[in-house]
Chain A
Amino acid sequence: ILNVEQSPQSLHVQEGDSTNFTCSFPSSNFYALHWYRWETAKSPEALFVMTLNGDEKKKGRISATLNTKEGYSYLYIKGSQPEDSATYLCAFQNQGGKLIFGQGTELSVKP
């Protein structure tokens, strides 16, 4: 059984704080690492897909890095805003195309 672990499980920050969370995944049979943003009562929204060791992606105040050799990815949010409040999911995609999700990190940003 492949485990994708996300930490922390939940995070409460003040508006303006920068924050980061971690996704750890198996380093074997790796194809891609996905990050999704999931607001309550909405559909998960794709943020990034990364495939190469050392990949860094950025979208506005959100960025992500990938280390396939050691099996982790970081998601960073700079200057958190209340609208960033959501659950952030990572998913490990194996060579066969299957996605295995972590439990998510629930972020709450207080004004």
Chain B
Amino acid sequence: GAVVSQHPSRVICKSGTSVKIECRSLDFQATTMFWYRQFPKQSLMLMATSNEGSKATYEQGVEKDKFLINHASLTLSTLTVTSAHPEDSSFYICSARERGVPRSGANVLTFGAGSRLTVL
């Protein structure tokens, strides 16, 4: 079945540094990738939608200059948390929609395993 590999699974960084999280679709091409954030005891919140070769669409309240998303190829999307601060500490997870699947369809997403970011 479809697999999305997400790395790193855990990262600890100092305040002010930037952290990059990668999501790769291993056995399929992903035209669209979604990035979510989850705070403790809360639901997955969509941060942004990225389409291969175009700019990401950010949800209301998500700073695009803070959370840089790049989807340069059909198998790789990256999320960079720039100048991270302790309040950015969270669980970040990506999901992918396979190429050819209609955007409006009731299609199943393939998720990565998530990345736990801790900013000291």
Contact = CB atoms under 8 A, between A and B. Distances in A.
A93 B6 CA distance: 24
Given A41-B113, A42-B113, A46-B109, A103 B4 contact: no
B43 A103 contact: yes
Contacts of A100: 43, 46
Interface size classification for chain B:
20 to 34
Interface of B: 4, 6, 9, 34, 36, 41-46, 93, 95, 103-104, 106-114
Report whether over half of chain B's contact residues are helix, strand or loop; otherwise say mixed: loop
Interface size classification for chain A:
20 to 34
Nearest to A48: B108
A44 B111 contact: yes
A31 B42 contact: no
Interface of A: 4, 31-32, 34, 36, 41-44, 46, 49-51, 89, 93, 95-104
A34 B108 contact: yes
